[in-house]
Structure formats: structure tokens, C-alpha cells
A = this chain, B = another copy of it.
Amino acid sequence: MAEISRRSLMRATLLVSGAAAIASVGSVGAATADDAVLASWNEGDTRKSIIDFVTAVTTDGSHDFVAEDDRVAVFDNDGTLWTEQPMYVQLAFILDRVKALAPEHPEWASTEPFKSVLAGDFAGVAAGGMKGLLELVAVTHAGMTSDEFTAIVSDWIKTARHPKFDKPYTATVFQPMLELIDYLKANGFKVFIVSGGGIEFMRPWAEAVYGIPPENVIGSSIKTKYEVRDGTPVILRLPEIDFIDDKEGKPVGIHKFIGRRPTAAFGNSDGDFQMLEWTTSGPGKRFGLIVHHDDADREYAYDRKSHFGALAKGLDEAPKRGWTVVSMKSDWKDVFPA
């Protein structure tokens, strides 16, 4: 109970816009297809596939039963738990940070990739490729202590707003996915985020928004270093990539951080393909699910050709691999918390 009330409090504090519709975490009977479960999902094959899977692995004596210790669910973040259009939220953070830091760096006005960022010239930023992006990451994510970076992210996420929906990014999370996380947790699953995004960018708010604690958040990282500064120990963030938790990196990250193969995996783009492949090729009952963004009215419609979260191979292979594909438009009653 302490966990739930604290989380509610944190959510309420964070979602300053008042859009803090909190998914109910109740004493949901294991695997009962109760109406109170997955309330924002329309009745149909998609919702049924989730409930059937959870019922199968949690029913003691069932052929597909999975011991509670072994129930592990992994979720991608961008595009799976919150919106990733018109750009990854972390990229919006990077652009805002460059603007905020620009007064201390007059040379940026004439140096790429900063010049393009400051001019709002995204084609110019894109032209800088990976090298340019890493330079942007270096100046916005490194050169400070871990505590300082956490404070920067926490301050930004409290005030930054989504350009289309005009609400905090933490309110552009998907209500049906919050309910899914809660449903899995109520059924004994350990729930992890496995994201291509920055691990330290997600950890400051993931517990309040998703109910997923820092130690269950896996993502891309830069190197850090421990040192004692004037008698005070700090973790210093270095301008060097440590690990890219995307595509083939996701099973590697899962193996490194969790140490066992998940029972269920949830994603939305081809960056999640290997995570779903690794999860669902394990022995015993497994579950893979892809969120398909086909709802231009309520969120966005995109797949094969998107700059962010492109989905092609996953769509093509889902049927033969037995993965559930969610139609945001048809399967979700609501998209965002009310």
C-alpha cells in the first residue's frame, strides 16, 4: 500500500496540468477477465490475447504455468509507453538544453551541429549524422555529476510541453499501456523498461509516471566515473558512449541487466524486433506485442517510413511469429489519461 500511495502522490505532483488520471492498481484477481482490468482496451481479439496469455501463465497446474519469480515483462518506451512524434522526447530535451546553454557558448552560433539547432534547421542537424548527434549528447548529457543531470531532467520534464497536445510529455503516456503494466504487476510480473533512449533520462520520472522503479529501467548510456571531489564522492558523466540499447542491443541489455529471458515483450518499432524475437523464441509460453500507430486523429499514424519509430519488419513478420498487433485506432478506447 505504501508503494501505491507514494506513487499516486508522485504522479499527482508531477502531472501539474491536472491530467493525472491514475490507472487503478487494485487487488485484481490473477488472470480474471474482469471488466475492471484493461478498461481502456476495447473488447476484441487484441485484448483477449493479452488476457489469455496472462491466464495461461498464472494458472497453477496449467501446462503453460510460469513460476512467479520467472514472470518478466519488458516494455520499449518511446512509441510504446508514450508518444514519440513529432520527435523523440529526449531529442526535444537536447534541443531545449542547447538553447538554454547557448549564452555560455557564443561559438555555437557559427559551429555545427549547434548552429542548426539554434536556427531550428532540423535538416542541418540531420546532415550532421551520428557524429553531430553525439556532439549534442556530449554537451547536454555529460560534464556534470549524476545528481546534477537528474535535477536538470526533473526540472525540464516538469515544464516542457508536447507541441501538438499542449500538455506535459508525462501526460502523453498511453493509458491502455499504463493499465497493461498494472495488470501484469498485479499478476506477479516484474516489469522493466528496455529503451533505446537514455537510461538516466528516464529514471528520474519513470517511477512516478509508470510505477517502474529506477532499477527496472534499462536504456542507452554514457560512461561514468566515480571520484571524490573535495571530500565529496560523485558520479561524473563522461562524453563517451557506453552502451546503445537498441535493435540487437536490446537482448544484450536484457541479458546484462535482467539476466534471464523475458516472458513477454512489448514494443512498437523495428528497434524492438530483436527484443520480441529473443523473448518469444524462448521455451514455454511467451508473448509479443506491437503497438501500431494508426490513429492520426487521436495521436499519429505512421509505420514504414517514419523518422522516429519506423515499423516494417515487425508488421511483416508479426502474423507468422504469433505476435499481437495493436491497432491504436480500433483497440484503444482512450489513448491518453483523461
Contact surface of A with B, Cβ cutoff 8 Å:
2-3, 6, 67-69, 72, 146, 190, 192, 199-200, 203, 207, 213-217, 221, 224-228, 232-233, 235, 242, 248-252, 255-260, 274, 277-278, 281
Contact = CB atoms under 8 A, between A and B. Distances in A.
A146 B257 CA distance: 14
Contacts of A199: 256, 259
A225 B248 contact: yes
B217 A235 contact: no
B68 A255 contact: no
A207 B258 CA distance: 13
Nearest to A281: B233
Given A2-B67, A2-B68, A233 B215 contact: no
A6 B67 contact: yes
Contacts of A226: 248-252, 274, 278
Given A225-B248, A233-B277, A146 B67 contact: no
Contacts of A214: 258-260
A256 B224 contact: yes
A228 B277 contact: yes
Given A228-B277, A235-B251, A217 B67 contact: no
A199 B221 CA distance: 19
A82 to B, nearest CB: 19
A69 B3 CA distance: 7
Nearest to A237: B255
Contacts of A227: 248
Contacts of A257: 215, 257
With most chain B CB atoms within 10 A of its CB, the pick from A190, A213, A277 is: A213
Nearest to A147: B261
Contacts of A232: 281
Given A192-B215, A225-B252, A233-B274, 16 more contacts: A2-B68, A3-B69, A6-B69, A69-B213, A190-B215, A199-B259, A203-B259, A214-B260, A215-B258, A215-B260, A217-B259, A226-B251, A226-B278, A228-B277, A233-B281, A257-B257
17 contacts: A2-B69, A3-B68, A3-B69, A69-B213, A72-B215, A190-B215, A215-B259, A221-B256, A224-B252, A225-B252, A226-B252, A226-B274, A232-B281, A233-B251, A235-B251, A235-B252, A242-B256
B233 A278 contact: yes
A73 to B, nearest CB: 12
Contacts of A258: 214-215
A21 to B, nearest CB: 22
